[in-house]
């Protein structure tokens, strides 16, 4: 587990609940943990078009390669003690952005700097389906860097948070996807990661699991951690996060208070679902304009990126034809 500076510890102690006492809000000048600058991710995909004509000719196809922008010029900063929700429709680029921040996707251009290695839920836990849940708890705890003694000490807490009950002694191949996701989430929190990233995992649990998860992540935030949560559910973002980033077609539409952003996104999504595209497009444009007004503030935050010693996640453009994957990291001078 990464050692935090005295500055980070002080920031954690000064972090306090919001007015309702439900969401932790990071101090304005707490240490930066993640900086993304003009981040772009593009994929080359094949599209098959039907040729013009009749009869047998109409069944002929022509394959064409096209470039798709999954993430388009995203810039933001994150600080210790922030719980940031990333919200948007399916295909908006949320998960691609998260994987790029974690170093699992190569960007086409742009830079990501982190103060510690991010822990993406489900990636760092090397769980095996033939082993029992209990055995996987110990294996996963070792995989994320705990000592055998620390793994033993964390065992009861992991089992309690996952709420698997007697199923903890069954092979993981018998688990539903929701049960497996809850166990991976509980293991990920055992190491108290400085930067935790969660992709839709909390949508697999009931209300009791959500409440337990929220308490566990609040404790992490008190220790000056940073949490990212990807979800398409506005209510989840509103209830759990202090800040939200709304993405649409690979771009950041709005970045601000979680309650305000989630409610604006919910109203947009509601009108879209009702078929009122004109109203939805108007709401999207209003939110985009509001986001533009925040640009200068975000740039000012970025200028403070030299506060800490950073680990560059993506210092250079990947080789031509690169399809993504894990890369080794180096420490910035």
Per-residue pLDDT reduced to its tens digit, 82-118: 999 999 999 999 999 999 999 988 899 999 999 988 8
The confidence score (pLDDT) of residue 178 equals 81
Give the predicted TM-score (pTM) of the model.
0.71
Res. 201 pLDDT band, cuts 50 70 90:
low
Q: Which helix (H) or strand (E) holds 237?
A: helix 234-240
Following DSSP, what letter does each residue of 173-223 receive, concatenated?
A: GGS-HHHHHHHHHHHHHHT--SEEEEESGGGGS-HHHHHHHHHHHHHHHHT
Res. 25 pLDDT band, cuts 50 70 90:
low
Q: Is the pLDDT of residue 6 over 70?
A: no
> pLDDT: is 45 or 290 the higher one?
290
Highest mean pLDDT among 39-48, 131-140, 199-208: 131-140
The fold adopted by the segment(s) 19-49+64-118+222-310 is Rossmann fold (3.40.50)
d(CA 244, CA 94): 12
> pLDDT: is 14 or 25 the higher one?
25
Q: What is the mean pLDDT of residues 135-156?
A: 91
Percent of residues, the chain, with pLDDT higher than 70: 71
Give the mean pLDDT of the chain.
Answer: 78
Strands annotated E in 80-168: 83-87, 109-114, 119-120
State pLDDT tens for residues 284-326: 999 999 988 776 555 554 555 444 445 555 443 443 444 444 3
Res. 54 pLDDT band, cuts 50 70 90:
low
Highest mean pLDDT among 178-182, 275-279, 297-301: 275-279
Q: What is the mean pLDDT of residues 205-225?
A: 73
d(CA 159, CA 59): 56
The confidence score (pLDDT) of residue 12 equals 38
C-alpha distance from residue 11 to each of 4, 26, 215 (Å) = 11, 8, 19
The confidence score (pLDDT) of residue 127 equals 80
DSSP 3-state of 56: helix
The confidence score (pLDDT) of residue 244 equals 97
Q: Is the pLDDT of residue 56 over 50?
A: yes
Burial class of residue 47 in the structure, from the number of CB atoms within 10 Å of its CB (0-12 exposed, 13-18 middle, 19+ buried): exposed
d(CA 13, CA 55): 74
Listed by start position, the domains of the chain span 19-49+64-118+222-310
d(CA 184, CA 276): 40
**Angle in degrees, CA 144, 326, 225, rounded to 5:** 45
Q: Is the pLDDT of residue 19 over 50?
A: no
Q: Which helix (H) or strand (E) holds 293?
A: helix 277-293
Q: Which residue has the tokens 């002929």?
A: 60
The confidence score (pLDDT) of residue 268 equals 95
Q: What is the mean pLDDT of residues 2-20?
A: 39
Q: Which residue has the tokens 């680029």?
A: 93
C-alpha distance from residue 307 to each of 110, 162, 169 (Å) = 20, 37, 46
The confidence score (pLDDT) of residue 307 equals 47
Angle between helices 148-162 and 177-190 (to 10 degrees): 140
DSSP 3-state of 95: helix
């Amino acid at each position: 587990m990464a050692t935090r500076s005295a500055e980070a510890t002080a920031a954690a102690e000064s972090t306090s609940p919001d007015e309702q006492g439900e969401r932790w809000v990071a101090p304005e000048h707490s240490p930066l943990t993640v900086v993304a600058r003009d981040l772009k991710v593009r994929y080359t995909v094949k599209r098959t078009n039907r040729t013009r004509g009749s009869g047998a000719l109409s069944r002929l196809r022509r394959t064409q390669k096209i470039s798709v922008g999954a993430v388009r010029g995203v810039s933001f900063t994150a600080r210790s003690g922030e719980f940031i929700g990333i919200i948007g429709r399916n295909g908006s680029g949320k998960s691609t952005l998260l994987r790029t921040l974690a170093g699992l996707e190569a960007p086409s251009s742009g830079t990501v700097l982190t103060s510690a290695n991010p822990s993406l839920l489900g990636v760092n836990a090397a769980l095996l389906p033939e082993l029992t849940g209990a055995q996987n708890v110990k294996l996963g705890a070792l995989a994320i860097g705990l000592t055998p003694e620390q793994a033993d000490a964390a065992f009861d807490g992991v089992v309690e948070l996952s709420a698997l009950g007697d199923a903890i002694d069954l092979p993981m191949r018998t688990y539903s996807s929701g049960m497996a996701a809850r166990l991976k989430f509980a293991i990920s929190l055992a190491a108290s990661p400085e930067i935790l990233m969660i992709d839709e995992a909390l949508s697999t649990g009931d209300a009791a699991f959500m409440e337990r998860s929220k308490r566990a992540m609040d404790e992490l935030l008190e220790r000056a951690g940073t949490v990212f949560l990807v979800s398409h559910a506005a209510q989840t973002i509103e209830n759990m996060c202090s800040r939200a980033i709304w993405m649409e077609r690979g771009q950041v539409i709005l970045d601000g208070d979680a309650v305000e952003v989630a409610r604006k996104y919910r109203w947009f999504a509601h009108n879209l679902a009702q078929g009122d595209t004109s109203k939805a497009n108007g709401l999207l444009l209003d939110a985009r304009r509001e986001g533009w007004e925040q640009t200068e503030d975000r740039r000012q935050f970025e200028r403070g990126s030299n506060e800490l010693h950073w680990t560059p996640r993506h210092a250079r453009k990947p080789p031509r034809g690169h399809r993504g994957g894990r890369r080794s990291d180096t420490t910035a001078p």
